């Protein structure tokens, strides 16, 4: 019996400074996008995305299949959507939407020096889809391909012939600073969804909190802004609900949580909601930043599960030493 296929978005990312900067930003903010909408995206529900860099696509297929590439494997979250925010560095610089066709990406594994031919984990059609993406302005190509060989190579366990949600706590993941390229921009280590401009980051946070406050007040709740260990305390007729609020200009893929936020949400004495506002548009053309719009994803009675958490930091207890 052959291996079952999953739906992939295959993307070639060039080596130019702009392309590498956008790759770094896409990984940091868990979002990828294309310049236009293609018919093949219309009904596609991709499960995985594969972004490849390092190999030149402007060769014939037999030559391409002899090469190797760095592969960035992602799980796709939420499918395609029409973005409205300036999200990538070149969009900010030009003050216009350049990549409106977007989707959320969750980093699973970075794979180095992967053969693009039969010795590697890709089917020939899958490998060729990456090559064709590179000659089509990096537009993603939709392909059906088994995921098992890629997951095996990444050391990610799966329990079924057709992987669905890959547990984050069992996948290695990677960060933007692991991007390799001769023109790779120098960046400090960031967390998921990080916005480098502190003024912009603050306005995004405040806008998300304003939307959340308005939502709960229209439901008859009295809302008090706290900040820690959670953002909003809502009370109504003797009932109390705590709300964690997150905002981003990118996709609703993942959010950063502190250990205290996780502990608080898992406490059975607390009733906690998670209120996420994605695709927030921020006008930075004047000195006063203004955030508008956004798409709300609302989780009531929220408790983060182990398989949806990936540790980014550890507290290490030093072993006792003898005198």
Q: Does 229 sit behind a cis peptide bond, omega within 30 degrees of 0 on the bond before it?
A: yes
Q: What total of structural domains would you count in the chain?
A: 2
For 258-289, how does the pLDDT look when each residue is reduced to its tens digit (9 = 90+)? 899 999 999 999 999 999 999 999 887 777 88
Residue-level pLDDT at 204: 94
Residue-level pLDDT at 182: 43
Q: Give 4's pLDDT tier (boundaries 50, 70, 90).
A: confident
Q: Is the pLDDT of residue 145 over 90?
A: yes
Task: Please state, in angstroms and rounded to a whole number, the distance separating the CA atoms of residues 40 and 145.
Answer: 16
Question: Do 159 and 223 belong together in one domain?
Answer: no
Phi then psi for residue 144, to 5 deg, are -95, 125
Question: Do 172 and 234 belong together in one domain?
Answer: no
Question: Do 158 and 206 belong together in one domain?
Answer: no
Task: Please state, in angstroms and rounded to a whole number, the distance separating the CA atoms of residues 306 and 308.
Answer: 5
Q: Is the pLDDT of residue 196 over 70?
A: no
Which span out of 150-159, 174-183, 196-205, 290-299 was modeled with the highest average pLDDT?
Answer: 290-299
Cβ(114)–Cβ(153) below 8 Å: yes
Question: Do 130 and 52 belong together in one domain?
Answer: yes
- Give the CATH number of the domain where residue 282 resides: 3.40.1350.10
Cβ(15)–Cβ(55) below 8 Å: no
Name which residue leads in pLDDT, 159 or 82: 82
Question: Do 109 and 161 belong together in one domain?
Answer: yes
DSSP string, 156-201: ---SSSS--SPPGGGS----GGG---TTPPP-----TT--S-HHHH
Q: Please check whether residue 236 lies inside any domain of the structure.
A: yes
Name which residue leads in pLDDT, 191 or 269: 269
Task: Please state, in angstroms and rounded to a whole number, the distance separating the CA atoms of residues 85 and 250.
Answer: 8
- Give the CATH number of the domain where residue 82 resides: 3.10.590
Question: Do 11 and 130 belong together in one domain?
Answer: yes
Cβ(65)–Cβ(117) below 8 Å: yes
Question: Do 44 and 81 belong together in one domain?
Answer: yes
Cβ-proximal residues to 271 (8 Å cutoff; 6+ apart), any chain? 239, 240, 241, 242, 301
The CA–CA distances, whole Å, from 102 to 115, 117, 165, 278 equal 28, 29, 20, 12
Q: Please check whether residue 323 lies inside any domain of the structure.
A: no
Q: Please check whether residue 188 lies inside any domain of the structure.
A: no
Domain boundary pick from 178, 208, 231: 178
Average pLDDT, integer, range 70-84: 93
Domain boundary pick from 148, 178, 208: 178
Query: Which residue range is the domain that position 39 belongs to?
Result: 6-178
Average pLDDT, integer, range 77-89: 88
Domain boundary pick from 178, 207, 222: 178
Residue-level pLDDT at 181: 54
Residue-level pLDDT at 160: 60
Name which residue leads in pLDDT, 142 or 323: 142
Average pLDDT, integer, range 66-71: 97
Q: Please check whether residue 319 lies inside any domain of the structure.
A: no
Average pLDDT, integer, range 25-46: 91
* Its pTM surpasses 0.95: no
Question: Do 164 and 276 belong together in one domain?
Answer: no
Cβ-proximal residues to 44 (8 Å cutoff; 6+ apart), any chain? 7, 9, 79, 80, 142
Question: Do 168 and 247 belong together in one domain?
Answer: no
Q: Give 317's pLDDT tier (boundaries 50, 70, 90).
A: confident
Question: Do 219 and 289 belong together in one domain?
Answer: yes
Per DSSP, what are the bridge partners of residue 243?
Answer: 232, 273
Q: Please check whether residue 203 lies inside any domain of the structure.
A: yes
Q: Please check whether residue 316 lies inside any domain of the structure.
A: no
Question: Do 151 and 298 belong together in one domain?
Answer: no
Tokens of 311: 């540790």
Task: Please state, in angstroms and rounded to a whole number, the distance separating the CA atoms of residues 256 and 249.
Answer: 14
Question: Do 202 and 292 belong together in one domain?
Answer: yes
Q: Give 228's pLDDT tier (boundaries 50, 70, 90).
A: confident
Q: Please check whether residue 183 lies inside any domain of the structure.
A: no
Q: Please check whether residue 232 lies inside any domain of the structure.
A: yes
Q: Which of 18-32, 130-144, 172-186 bottoms out in mean pLDDT, i.e. has the lowest?
A: 172-186
Residue-level pLDDT at 2: 57
Name which residue leads in pLDDT, 45 or 126: 126
Residue-level pLDDT at 80: 93
């Amino acid at each position: 019996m052959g291996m079952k296929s999953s739906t992939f978005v295959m993307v070639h990312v060039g080596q130019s400074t702009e392309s590498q900067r956008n790759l770094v930003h896409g990984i940091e903010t868990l979002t990828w996008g294309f310049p236009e909408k293609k018919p093949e995206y219309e009904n596609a529900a991709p499960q995985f995305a594969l972004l490849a860099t390092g190999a030149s696509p402007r060769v014939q297929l037999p030559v391409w299949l002899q090469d190797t590439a760095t592969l960035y494997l992602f799980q796709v979250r939420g499918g395609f959507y029409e973005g409205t925010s300036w999200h990538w560095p070149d969009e900010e610089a030009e003050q216009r939407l350049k990549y409106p066709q977007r989707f959320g990406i969750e980093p699973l594994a970075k794979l180095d020096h992967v053969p693009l031919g039969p010795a590697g984990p890709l089917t020939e059609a899958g490998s060729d889809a990456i090559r064709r993406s590179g000659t089509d302005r990096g537009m993603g190509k939709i392909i059906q391909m088994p995921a098992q060989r890629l997951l095996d190579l990444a050391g990610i366990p799966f329990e079924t012939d057709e992987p669905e949600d890959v547990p984050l706590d069992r996948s290695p993941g990677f960060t933007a600073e692991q991007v390799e390229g001769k023109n790779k921009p120098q960046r400090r280590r960031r967390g998921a969804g990080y916005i480098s401009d502190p003024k912009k980051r603050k306005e995004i946070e405040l806008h998300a909190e304003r939307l959340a406050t308005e939502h709960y007040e229209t439901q008859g709740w009295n809302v008090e802004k706290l900040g820690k260990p959670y953002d909003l305390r809502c009370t109504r007729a003797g009932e109390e609900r705590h709300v964690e609020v997150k905002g981003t200009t990118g996709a609703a893929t993942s959010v950063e949580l502190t250990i205290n936020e996780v502990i608080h949400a898992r406490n059975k004495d607390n009733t906690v909601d998670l209120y996420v506002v994605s695709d927030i548009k921020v006008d930075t053309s004047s000195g006063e930043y203004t955030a508008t719009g956004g798409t709300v994803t609302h989780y009531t009675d929220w408790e983060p599960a182990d398989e949806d958490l990936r540790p980014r930091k550890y507290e290490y207890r030093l072993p006792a030493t003898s005198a």
